[in-house]
Amino acid sequence: MSISNADNFERYLVEYKFDGAEWGIEIVATNPAEARERLKAISWAKYKGEVFAKIPVTPSRFNRAVARPCAASRFG
């Protein structure tokens, strides 16, 4: 897994239909082509549970340095 600089990401909207209604989700990617590739990868997604809190964190060198080893251990 490759972890890019968080400053390079944009938010892209994806729409889908479910149970007679239209819904949208946000995909974070570096460009529209990557957003489409990430959408294809969603078919491999696994349910992890309900999100009960969202804590905003300001990007910094320290945060990225800490996130890289954590993400690598989680997905490695």
Identify whether the C-beta of residue 7 lies closer than 8 Å to the C-beta of residue 63.
no
The predicted pLDDT at position 2 comes to: 54
The predicted pLDDT at position 56 comes to: 81
The predicted pLDDT at position 66 comes to: 62
**SS3 labels along 22-61:** EEEEEEEECCHHHHHHHHHHHHHCCCCCCCCCCCCCCCCH
Single pTM value for the model:
0.58
Number of Cβ within 10 Å of residue 35's Cβ equals 19
Q: What is the pLDDT along the chain (76 residues), one digit of tens a residue?
A: 455 555 689 999 999 999 999 999 999 999 999 999 999 999 899 999 998 888 887 767 666 666 655 544 454 4
Q: Which residues pair with 24 in a beta bridge?
A: 15
